[in-house]
Every structure is written in structure tokens, then in C-alpha cells.
Amino acid sequence: MSVVIVRFPGTNCEYDTKYAFDILNAKSTIINYDENCLPNDTKLVVLPGGFSYGDYLRSGALAKMSNIMNSIKIFASSGGMVLGICNGFQILTEVGLLPGALKRNDNTHFISKFQHIKVVNNDNKFLQLYKTNELLNIPVAHHDGAYYIDKVGLDSLKKNQQILLRYCDKDGALEVLNGSLEQIAGICNTTKNVFGLMPHPERAMEILLGSDDGKNMLEGLVC
């Protein structure tokens, strides 16, 4: 198992992400956006958080044209696992590996805080170690996190159990955080090998830092 963490100009969570996989004893490597190919032993590609290309044009819009993205598309289409966290999620929607789009938070603020989220579907590798409806407390830090998809797309997400996580309060009642459609915090593709979420599981790996609720997400992908 080798985890490949892709760094774009403006990425700033690559070392936190690598540290998270170190805790899990999973071998990980950081590679740059201008590489042409993924390493041969790649088992999981992670697009970490940050502000790729300064969020110019739209968050993730310029990163999707990077050299490495073609290899990632091929890797994903042949069943390889891809995870996008925050800006990585935005890039995955921009490149079409995940449906929908992330737009500016409804209140126009950058939101940075611990946030409760609820596990909606655990029938996938990413959330396999959680129970359905389990509550997690994981940091969010984003400006463009309001998930949007049209009615047809939303129906399709529900039908295929692609909605993975929703924002909620500490008691599990759905909570409006950023204007995200139906409080969606994370989704996957139809074949359940590409995952995207706005919260940062790599920042919730140990109690010392406030929460270790994110650990099982990354563990699920490498176990």
C-alpha cells in the first residue's frame, strides 16, 4: 500500500496529511502537480487541502489542468481510490471525478472551527469503520464549501447512496453551516472509489489536538 499525496502550488495541508498516514503506519509520498505519472505502487491518491493556484478563477479550476490530473483520472477510472479533502474535494468536482460543485459559503465568510458531522452511508471503504448515523467532531476550514448539484443530480446521489456525510449539531440534528445543499459535507462517486469531503480528517487524528474522530476515515482507506 502506498499513499500518494499530490501537492499543487498553494496546497498547505500536504504535511499534515502525510503525518496522519504516518500515525496509521501507511507509507506515503508527496509528489508535485507537474509530474506526468503516479508511482507504480500507488494504491490511494490524496488531494489535500489548501488554496491551489490561490483559488484564482474558481477553487480547484486551475489545478484540474495540471499534468498529474490525467494520470489521476486514469487511475480512478480503473478503480483506484482517490480522496479529496477540502480544496482536494473542490478539485475533484472541477475535474468531473465527483458530481456537483462547491460554491462560496452562503454567509460569504471563511468558516474555520470544529464541526459535528453525521455518517450517512458506511457502505464504502472510506466510512466502513463507522456506524451509520455516528456523530463525528472534525475541523472545517473553507470559504467555498457550499455543495451544489441540480435536482436530477441530487436524486441520483440519493439513489446510489453517494451522500456520505452531513453537517449537524452535537445532538445529530442537521445544521446549516455554509449553505451546502441538504447539509452535504461529503460524497463519493457511483463506483465508490472516489471520495470528497470539506471537513479535515487529517486534523482530527489525536485527542491532543482536540479529536481523533477522523482517524477511522483514513484507516478505512488503507486497512
Partner 1 sequence: MKAIVKISLKDGVLDSQGKATYHTICTMGYDDIVKDIKIDKLINIELGDIDKQVAIKKVEKMCQDMLVNTVIEDYNIDIII
- Which of 86, 142, 168, 188 is catalytic? The answer is 86
Contact pattern for partner 1 over residues 153 through 172, marking x by CB under 8 A: --------------------
Query: Can you read off the three cell numbers belonging to residue 191?
Result: 463506483
Residues 146/178, Cβ–Cβ less than 8 Å? yes
Residues 34-63 that bind partner 1 (CB under 8 A): 57-58, 61-62
Q: Specify the residue, 59 or 193, whose C-beta has the smaller distance to partner 1.
A: 59
Residues 194/69, Cβ–Cβ less than 8 Å? no
Residue 180 near partner 1 by CB under 8 A: no
Q: Specify the residue, 9 or 172, whose C-beta has the smaller distance to partner 1.
A: 9
Residue 187 near partner 1 by CB under 8 A: no
What CA–CA distance (Å, rounded) separates 117 from 139? 10
112: left (phi over 0), alpha (psi -120 to 50) or beta: beta
* Segment interacting with partner 1 (CB under 8 A) among 24-32, 118-126, 132-140, 146-154: 146-154
Q: Specify the residue, 30 or 61, whose C-beta has the smaller distance to partner 1.
A: 61
Residue 168 C-beta-side C-alpha neighbours within 13 Å = 18
* Segment interacting with partner 1 (CB under 8 A) among 101-109, 133-141, 186-194, 211-219: 101-109
Instruction: Give the residue, chosen from 22, 34, 41, 106, that forms a contact with partner 1 under the rule CB under 8 A.
Output: 106
- Is residue 202 among the annotated active site residues? yes
- Is residue 86 among the annotated active site residues? yes
Residue 148 near partner 1 by CB under 8 A: yes
Report H helices in 78-178.
87-95, 151-159
CA 2 → CA 12, 40, 46, 177, 218, distances in Å?
Answer: 21, 9, 11, 34, 13
Query: Can you read off the three cell numbers belonging to residue 134?
Result: 455516528
What CA–CA distance (Å, rounded) separates 83 from 147? 17
Which positions touch partner 1 (CB under 8 A)?
57-58, 61-62, 64-65, 93-94, 100-101, 103-108, 146, 148-150, 179
Give me the active site residues, please: 86, 200, 202
